Amino acid sequence: MTASPAGGDGKADLDLAVLLPELAEIGDDELRAGVEALWQRLWHLSSWTDVMDVPVASHIATPQVNHTRAVTRMALAMADIVSELHGVELRRDLLVAAALVQDACKMIEYEADEAGGTRRTEIGRKLGHAAYGAAVAIEVGLPLDVVNVILSHSPDASVPWGSVEARILVNADQADVAALGGDRFIRKMFQYR
């Protein structure tokens, strides 16, 4: 971590190049800087003192950073496959940037509780990580296509996916959550006789 001149909360900035090496996959310097700005802003707004303590969810203790990296890598692998086998061209910078930020607001959605677990914050209960994360993304100047992914990736979202990159990301996200035992998609089967 490096010293934070702008944080004002006494916490050092996150060393994002080490924490999220997938950042290097973003070729657009301005987009990469926006992703970094979002992470730093949320980090300094959060009550956490160790980013590796931020969970995927209150019932999934896996560090959110590991989930973010897994989703990013799965999305890139999916993009490579659909590009190779189907000729689908994807915006890789958008894909990586969106994957890295879609759940970053979990730092604000959750906080440690007195019993050593986690609980949802007031923002988490009233807005959720997608809505608040999208607001911060707009504030730091991320493109609307990235904001759309943040808003549309959650199973609780009412915003439609705005791109094929968003569709890939929501599936990578849910695949990783399912692997961790927290699948939120419910299959409803109707059988007519």
* CATH node for 16-179: 1.10.3210
Report the alpha-carbon distance of residue 18 to residue 110 in Å, rounded: 23
The residue ranges of every structural domain in the chain are: 16-179
pLDDT per residue rounded down to tens, the chain (193 residues): 333 334 557 899 999 999 999 999 999 999 999 999 999 999 999 999 999 999 988 888 899 999 999 999 999 999 999 999 999 999 999 999 999 999 998 999 999 989 988 999 888 888 778 888 889 999 999 999 999 988 887 766 677 677 899 889 988 998 999 899 876 655 444 555 5
Concatenate the DSSP letters of all residues of 18-84 into one string: HH-GGGGG---HHHHHHHHHHHHHHHHHS--S-GGG-EEETTEEEEHHHHHHHHHHHHHHHHHHHHH
User: Which tokens sit at 123?
Assistant: 């923002």
Helix (H) or strand (E) holding 112: strand 110-112
Q: What is the predicted pLDDT for the residue at 185? A: 57
116: left (phi over 0), alpha (psi -120 to 50) or beta: left
